[in-house]
Structure 1
Amino acid sequence: MDGTLVDSEKVWEIALHELAANAGGTLSPAARQAMIGSSMANSMQILRDDLGQPDRPEAPDVEWLTDRVFELFGAGLVWRPGALELLHAVRFAGLPTALVTSTGRKLVEVALDTLGRENFDVVVCGDEVSMPKPDPEPYRTAAALLGVAIEDCVAIEDSPTGVSSALASGAAVLAVPAELELPPTDGVHLRTSLVGVDPAYLADLLVHRGLLQPER
């Protein structure tokens, strides 16, 4: 979701910098980058380490951050280039579709006001799995809920954490970097955007699984 379908990482950045300031510190660029695509628990650990406050209680920070991002999400989210068109094409083609995100259910419900609940058969949130990304559990859970083999799925990701999760799950992986650069990786098809991607392109990724797809 974040960074792949909508440009919400910038929203998270606003809230995280505000949280760090509330704690009397400043969030470093390296710490912020390490949080992208990560779970809430891992992000809060990174924050504490970055601020040099290892004993800072986590629960109040999670509550504050969730409420702040909830407020910012409610103002509306901006689609990433080509994402809405691809989602509409996939749904028009009748393909089972899952949203697999590290973000918690409360915030995802707000984001779905932009994304459209009707666009997903299944939604798997970061607080609904025992092992979040980069573990493969979120993608395998989504495939199981859809009733399809993970090997017949294409996962679309934007971050190293998400790519690791999708690749380990057994899905074909299409990566479109947003905030972080993604290096060429065996089995991962890299593009600069989702513009021009359609169901036929996704099907071709399954046929040519394991081969790097040149950009077009």
Structure 2
Amino acid sequence: MDGTLVDSEKVWEVALHELAARAGGELSPAARRAMIGSSMATSMRILRDDLGQPGRDEAADVDWLERRVEELFADGLVWQPGAFELLKAVRAAGLPTALVTSTGRRLVEVALDTLGRENFDVVVCGDEVSAPKPDPAPYRTAAGLLGVEIAQCVAIEDSPTGMASAVASGAAVLAVPAELELPATDGVHLRDSLEDVDPAFLSSLLVPIPG
């Protein structure tokens, strides 16, 4: 979701810098980069380490951060280039679709006002899985809920953490960088944007089933 479908990483950036300022510190660029694509728990650990405040109340920080991001999400989210068109084409083709995100359900529900609940058969949130990205559990959970083989799924990602999760799950992977440069990785198809990507292109990324 964040960075792949909508340009929401900048929203997170605003809120995270505000949270660091409330704590009397300043979030370093390296720490912010390390948070992209990570779970909330991992991001909060990075924040505490970066600020040199290991004893901070994580629950209180998460609550403040989610409330602030919720306010910013409610103002509307901007689609990434080509994302809206691809999603509409996929749905028009009758393909089952899952939203797989590290973001928690509370904020995803707000984002779905922009994304459209009708565009997803399944929504898997970061606080609803046995292990977050880069573990493969989120994508495998989504495939299971859709009732399809993971090898017949294409995962679209924008961060190294998400790429690692998708590759480990066994899905075909299409990666489009947003905030971070993405390295060439075996099994990952890289593009500059989702513009001109359509269901036929996604199908071409799958390994044909023998027979």
Tell me the TM-score normalized by structure 1. Answer: 0.96
Question: Could you tell me which residue of structure 2 aligns to residue 110 of structure 1?
Answer: 110
Question: Could you tell me which residue of structure 1 aligns to residue 180 of structure 2?
Answer: 180
Q: How does 1:40-79 map to 2 (within 5 A)?
A: 40-79=40-79
Q: How far apart are the structure 1 equivalents of 2:142 and 2:136? A: 10
In structure 2, relative to structure 1, the CA distance for the partners of 1:208 and 1:14 (3 Å cut) is farther
Q: How far apart are the structure 2 equivalents of 1:208 and 1:151? A: 10
Q: How far apart are the structure 1 equivalents of 2:208 and 2:147? A: 23
Question: Could you tell me which residue of structure 2 aligns to residue 123 of structure 1?
Answer: 123
The answer to whether 1:137 aligns with 2:137 is yes
Q: How does 1:1-216 map to 2 (within 5 A)?
A: 1-207=1-207
How many pairs were matched up?
Answer: 209
Structure 1 unaligned runs (5+)?
Answer: 210-216
Give a deviation string over 1:83-117, Cα, whole Å, max 9, x none. 00000000000000000000000000000000000
Tell me the TM-score normalized by structure 2. Answer: 0.98
Partner letter of residue 7 of structure 2? D
Note the C-alpha offset of 1:71. 0.3
Give a deviation string over 1:138-178, Cα, whole Å, max 9, x none. 00000000000000000000000000000000000000000
Kindly report structure 1 stretches of 4+ aligned residues shifted beyond 2 Å: none
Partner letter of residue 100 of structure 2? V
Q: How far apart are the structure 2 equivalents of 1:35 and 1:192? A: 22
Structure 2 unaligned runs (5+)?
Answer: none
Q: How far apart are the structure 2 equivalents of 1:114 and 1:45? A: 30
Note the C-alpha offset of 1:208. 7.5
Give a deviation string over 1:57-86, Cα, whole Å, max 9, x none. 101000000000000000000000000000
Q: How far apart are the structure 2 equivalents of 1:158 and 1:208? A: 25
Note the C-alpha offset of 1:207. 3.6
Partner letter of residue 152 of structure 1? Q
Q: How far apart are the structure 2 equivalents of 1:142 and 1:58? A: 28
Give a deviation string over 1:29-81, Cα, whole Å, max 9, x none. 00000000000000000000000001111010000000000000000000000
Q: How far apart are the structure 2 equivalents of 1:191 and 1:208? A: 22
Percent identical residues: 82
Q: How far apart are the structure 2 equivalents of 1:160 and 1:189? A: 13
Q: How far apart are the structure 1 equivalents of 2:129 and 2:184? A: 28
